[in-house]
Amino acid sequence: MYQTDKTKQLTAKQLQRKEYYKTHRAERLAQRKEYYKTHRAEILAQAKEYSNAHRLAVLRHYSNGKIECAVCGFSDKRALQIDHINNDGNMDRRLHGSGLQFYMWLERNHYPAGYQVLCANCNAIKAAKNLARKRVKSEVRITND
């Protein structure tokens, strides 16, 4: 998928293109900028569609094909989120990014375990419960000192 072999020999055609780009860089960048200006809506719609397809594939996998919240069964895709079952989302986001980058990481890694689909409400309630649990633990620690 990603070209990582920098030692790869370029073909004559590729070298020609590379040379052409070097001498016409400003012109090509201006063309690209102009194309983006005139096709902005189309480009953004395609990007959204691409991202959404990956998101749906991930949601489908982690809810066993039904695309719904694991707790309450809510199924409006706009409010469904990938939940880190072990509450290690912060670290995971640092390592694997968020949004499309994260969905593609999950796909590339064959959907590792440790994730589930929750609706925004159930995810927020879970976060609030975890926070309350942490506060109780730290209060216990303070009174024990």
Q: Does 125 bind Zn ion (CB under 5 A)?
A: no
Q: What are phi and psi of 76, to 5 degrees?
A: -75, 110
- When binding is defined by CB under 5 A, the residue of 74, 81, 93, 126 that contacts Zn ion is 74
Q: Strand pairing of 115-119 and 80-84?
A: antiparallel
Q: Does 128 bind Zn ion (CB under 5 A)?
A: no
- When binding is defined by CB under 5 A, the residue of 59, 80, 106, 122 that contacts Zn ion is 122
* x/- letters, 101..120, toward Zn ion (CB under 5 A): ------------------x-
Question: Is 74 or 105 the residue whose CB approaches Zn ion more closely?
Answer: 74
Token pair belonging to 87? 């509450």
Q: What are phi and psi of 118, to 5 degrees?
A: -130, 155
| Alpha-carbon dihedral sign for residues 103, 71, 89, 112 | negative
Question: Is 85 or 100 the residue whose CB approaches Zn ion more closely?
Answer: 85
Q: Does 70 bind Zn ion (CB under 5 A)?
A: no
Q: Are 74 and 121 in contact (CB under 8 A)?
A: yes
